[in-house]
Each structure stands twice: as C-alpha cells, then as structure tokens.
Amino acid sequence: MSHSRNTKRRQFWFIGFLACAALLLLAGLVVTFFRSGVHVTIKNTGNQSLRSVLLHATGASHSLGDIPPGATAHAVLHATGESHLEIEFTAPDGQPYRLDAGGYFEPGYRGTMDISINDGVIEKNEQRIRLPWSLP
C-alpha cells in the first residue's frame, strides 16, 4: 500500500510540474504574440554625429538624443492612428533634417524597423511590421 501511495504522489507532482511548465509556455507565447509597438533601431553609419534625434509617428514621438558615428539607438513607438516613421535630427553644421522612413502602422501593430543613416541620407531601411493578430 505504501508503494502505491508513493507512486500516486510522484504522478501528482509530475502532472503538477507539467501543468506549470505548460502555463509558463502559454504565458510567454501570449506576451510575445500580443506585444505591440514598432521597435525602431537607428544606426549612424556616417562620419559625424546625428544630434537631437527625434522619432515621429502619429501621436507619438521619442527622443534618442545624440547618436555618434558608428553608434546605434533604439526606441519603441506606439502610434495613436495611421502612421509612418519620420526621423528628425540636426547635423553638426546646424542644418536640420527630417527624413521620411516610410512604413505603415497603426495602434496595436508590431514589428521592427532597422534604419541606417549615412551623412543625412537613409542608406538602409528594413521593415518587418505586422498586424496585431498575425503570427510572427
């Protein structure tokens, strides 16, 4: 009888462990699936700093500060309506720039935009933006 009781106890703990692992996996998938926002990466591939960098989307702006040559900065944008990305900065000579990086996203969209700027010109613009309910 004692052997049977120990076997049942082990089965109970094993089933409990599997249930906890399944719940943690499910929670991770839900967080990943529903994580909204466009994750923007700006890399300065030029020879001079990009000063006072601002990212603009409808109803959302994010300051990245200065980005020295070779450096990268990141932000997550949550637009409040139909939007695209604009990048504003000042060149070392004081000239203002406002670049249209395109893209299309709305509230709840998720994805990434990887952009490289070389001396005031976008040289790389990779976008992976998805609808909120689409699979990764």
- For 90-114, what is each residue's pLDDT tens digit? 988 899 999 999 999 988 898 999 9
How far is it, in rounded angstroms, from Cα 124 to Cα 136?
Answer: 22
Q: Quick check: pTM over 0.85?
A: no
Query: What pLDDT was estimated at residue 136?
Result: 54
Query: What pLDDT was estimated at residue 32?
Result: 47
User: Is residue 99 within 8 Å of residue 74, measured between CB atoms?
Assistant: no
- Would you say residue 24 has pLDDT above 80? no
How far is it, in rounded angstroms, from Cα 98 to Cα 42?
Answer: 14
Residue boundaries of the structural domains of the chain: 1-34, 36-130
- For 1-23, what is each residue's pLDDT tens digit? 566 777 777 777 878 777 777 77
Percent of the chain whose pLDDT exceeds 70: 86
How far is it, in rounded angstroms, from Cα 113 to Cα 40?
Answer: 5
Q: Out of 3.30.465.10, 2.60.40.2890, 1.20.120.1200, 3.40.50.2300, select the CATH number for domain 36-130.
A: 2.60.40.2890
Residue 133 three-state SS: coil
Query: Which pair of tokens denotes residue 75?
Result: 């932000």
